[in-house]
Amino acid sequence: MVDMMEPGYPVITEEEAAQYDRQIRLWGLDAQKRLRGSRVLLAGLGGLGAEVAKNLVLAGVKGITLLDHEKVSEESCRAQFLAPVTAQGENRAKASLERAQNLNPMVEVHADADRIEDKPDDFFLQFDVVCLTGCSRDTMVRLDQLCSQHSIKVFCGDVYGYYGYMFCNLGEEHNYVEEKPKRVRVTGNSNEGPDSKKVKVDPNETTMVKKTAGFCALKEALEVDWRTEEAKAHLKRTPVGYFLLHVLLKFRTDKGRDPDPHNAAEDTELLRQIQGDVLEALGVSSDLLRDDVTSDCFSEMSPVCAVVGGVLGQEVVKALSQRDAPHRNFFFFDGRAGSGMVDYFGPK
């Protein structure tokens, strides 16, 4: 055994130390121990969910439960690499189980074919992190509130064509550490005067700095009052992905699904109607979103899933390991521009 365990941390075996050697060198033994003691619920095994599952299994969490009631389809197989093409028609979570488990036999991987809406509240309380993809706005808001009351970290994310987002709520007080260059006081010649003792950064030495970040509920983050002067001043710097998210979540609520490429003409027109209604309801200009942006929101594109899934998985690892500053509280990715942006929405 590797005998450097603090109270409450799981023991890292020699086999695990060898498996996670590179990660331990990157973020430290204590961070890896926290990961090895954590259980994650991942809802939604589409393209984005598959990327997140891969990243968390490889990172070495204690256990991950894959929850999805949907069936494997030809469409989902284009971005979902955990479910074999031969599994079409089978449950998506169960079809993803074998490949996910093979990524890292040291992680407990479970598959659950139930609908997330049918799960009782107690089901979610067994996890340290609940990660929601492909869920309705009402479901995300409800579970975010439930988990926050029990100090469970919540992540949400989706990919729509060229666009994707991630949201996280790590609670009102999330503690973490950051590695910073060490500042040392250098004493010079006494003849140099009062400035002879100067604080300089030593590039060869680092120190761990304890920090705290606060987060808000998803409901608050989505209900910004854009009619206030403060919000209007922030509007020019606001990622358009925030408003596009409102449009796409409204489409999912109204239709019970996401925009369908097999029904592109009709769904594009509906998206434009929803766009106008949503932006008007939010009290912002209809010019915020391009007229053609809704035509780029169909299907999960593999490269976009890889980027957003990489960021989402990274943020879950950071949150569980309490290592490094978390994204607070949204990340938006624009595949057309090849750029991503982090921004905070909600009470300051």
CB 64 within 8 A of CB 110: yes
Asked if residue 267 and residue 164 are part of one domain, the reply reads no
What is the CA angle 268-167-57, rounded to 5?
Answer: 105
pLDDT of residue 5: 37
Q: Is residue 52 part of a domain?
A: yes
Residue 202 has pLDDT above 70, yes or no: no
Q: Is residue 215 part of a domain?
A: no
Asked if residue 242 and residue 153 are part of one domain, the reply reads no
CATH number of the domain that residue 79 is part of: 3.40.50.720
pLDDT of residue 183: 74
Q: Is residue 103 part of a domain?
A: yes
Mean pLDDT for 29-41 is 92
**Better pLDDT: 15 or 264:** 264
Q: 3-class DSSP state for residue 22?
A: helix
Residue 200 has pLDDT above 50, yes or no: yes
Asked if residue 181 and residue 123 are part of one domain, the reply reads no
d(CA 68, CA 243): 27
**Better pLDDT: 149 or 204:** 149
Asked if residue 243 and residue 115 are part of one domain, the reply reads no
pLDDT of residue 205: 79
Is residue 8 very low, low, confident or very high in pLDDT (cuts 50, 70, 90)? low
Mean pLDDT for 109-131 is 98
pLDDT of residue 6: 44
pLDDT of residue 4: 34
Q: Is residue 79 part of a domain?
A: yes
Asked if residue 334 and residue 205 are part of one domain, the reply reads no
Mean pLDDT for 308-326 is 96
Q: Is residue 3 part of a domain?
A: no
Asked if residue 238 and residue 180 are part of one domain, the reply reads no
Asked if residue 266 and residue 162 are part of one domain, the reply reads no
Instruction: For residue 224, give the nearest of 197, 252, 203, 245 by alpha carbon.
Output: 245
Number of domains forming the structure of the chain: 3
pLDDT of residue 133: 98
Asked if residue 158 and residue 29 are part of one domain, the reply reads yes
What is the CA angle 40-347-311, rounded to 5?
Answer: 35
Q: What is the pLDDT of residues 47-86, one digit of tens each?
A: 999 999 999 999 999 999 999 999 999 888 889 999 999 9
Q: 3-class DSSP state for residue 165?
A: strand
Residue 277 has pLDDT above 90, yes or no: yes
Q: Which domain holds residue 186?
A: 174-210
Q: Mean pLDDT for the chain?
A: 90
Asked if residue 22 and residue 92 are part of one domain, the reply reads yes
d(CA 307, CA 313): 10
Asked if residue 244 and residue 188 are part of one domain, the reply reads no
Asked if residue 314 and residue 280 are part of one domain, the reply reads no
Is residue 3 very low, low, confident or very high in pLDDT (cuts 50, 70, 90)? very low
Q: In sequence order, what DSSP letters do the residues of 199-244 get, joined into one string? A: EEEEEEEEEEEEEEE----HHHHH---TTSHHHHHHHTTS-HHHHH
Asked if residue 61 and residue 160 are part of one domain, the reply reads yes
Q: What are the phi and psi torsion angles at 149 (to 5°)?
A: -65, -20
Q: Is residue 218 part of a domain?
A: no
- Alpha-carbon torsion (128, 133, 134, 137), positive or negative: positive
d(CA 158, CA 308): 8
Residue 190 has pLDDT above 60, yes or no: no
Q: Is residue 131 part of a domain?
A: yes
Q: Is residue 7 part of a domain?
A: no
What is the CA angle 102-140-300, rounded to 5?
Answer: 55
